[in-house]
Amino acid sequence: MKQRTDEEHNAKMKKVQAAQAKKIATKTVEKGLIIVHTGPGKGKTSAALGMAVRAIGHGMKVGIVQFVKGAMATGEKAVFDRFPDLVEFKPMGEGFTWDTQDRARDIAVAREAWEEVKRMIADPEYKMVIADELNIVLRYDYLPTEEVLEALAAKPEMKHVIITGRNAPQALIDAADLVTEMAQVKHPFREQNVKAQAGIEF
């Protein structure tokens, strides 16, 4: 960035501020958002957990259902369990689908987890609902995407719903308000043989 004098800088910043103020003035809508975190990169689940933290901090009740990670003790569970009035945290999966090797059981587990999500979406007490790794379940056809779209279409207007997992179906992206694709620029698993570590992956 070319070096400006302080005066030039401050004049420029005045202009940027005015432009920002004008832009923000047009942003008046408040609504519950359908948010999708997808893509092959990292940060899909952790960004959802970060939003849960923000919501809890504002006294909003948050429901979290994990479709895959149920079998392992995670750091997030230890923290969220400290806020029993504000967070209902349900790790309901039984592990990766290649670990269970039982499709009928995977489907039953996915169905059970989805019923929890549906309940939280319908219940006005929850201001934010996170369906973690739901996209994986949809990708394997363990749950019809149409059913998810229906529940989202019927959600209370102010409720935020966050859905994570790679390979989000296009119909879900179309229905969402905010979609972020996490792209992998560099990943230590691949390049340096680094294993999954506490505080990062779980």
CB of 152 to a second copy, least distance (A): 14
Residue 77 is a binding residue for a second copy (CB under 8 A) = yes
**Total residues contacting a second copy (rule CB under 8 A)?**
90
The full DSSP string for 148-165 is HHHHHHTS-TT-EEEEE-
Shortest separation between residue 42's beta carbon and a second copy, angstroms: 5
Of residues 123 through 152, those in contact with a second copy by CB under 8 A are: 127-128, 139-141
What phi and psi values does residue 66 have, to the nearest 5 degrees? -100, 120
3-state class (DSSP) for residue 36: strand
- Taking CB under 8 A as the rule, does residue 110 contact a second copy? no
Q: Whole-angstrom Cα distance, residue 24 to residue 26?
A: 5
Query: What is the closest distance, in whole angstroms, from the C-beta atom of residue 116 to a second copy in the complex?
Result: 20
Angstrom distance (rounded) from CA 188 to CA 202: 16
Both tokens assigned to 17 = 């501020």
Q: Which of 17, 108, 146, 150 binds a second copy (CB under 8 A)?
A: 17
What minimum distance in Å lies between the beta carbon of 115 and a second copy?
22
Restricting to residues 158-187, which ones interact with a second copy according to CB under 8 A?
160, 173, 176-187
In 36-52, which positions are buried (b, 16+ CB within 10 angstroms) versus exposed (e)?
bbbbebbebbebbbebb
Q: How far apart are CA 5 and CA 198, in angstroms?
A: 46
Q: Where does this chain touch a second copy (CB under 8 A) — which range of 20-28, 64-72, 109-117, 148-156?
A: 20-28
User: Which two structure tokens, joined as six digits, stand for 52?
Assistant: 């849960």
Mark residues 31-70: x for contact with a second copy by CB under 8 A, - for none.
Answer: x-x-xxxxx-xxx-xxxxxxx-xxxxxx-x----------
Question: Which CB atom, from 41 or from 70, has the smaller least distance to a second copy?
Answer: 41
> Residue 153, interface with a second copy (CB under 8 A)?
no
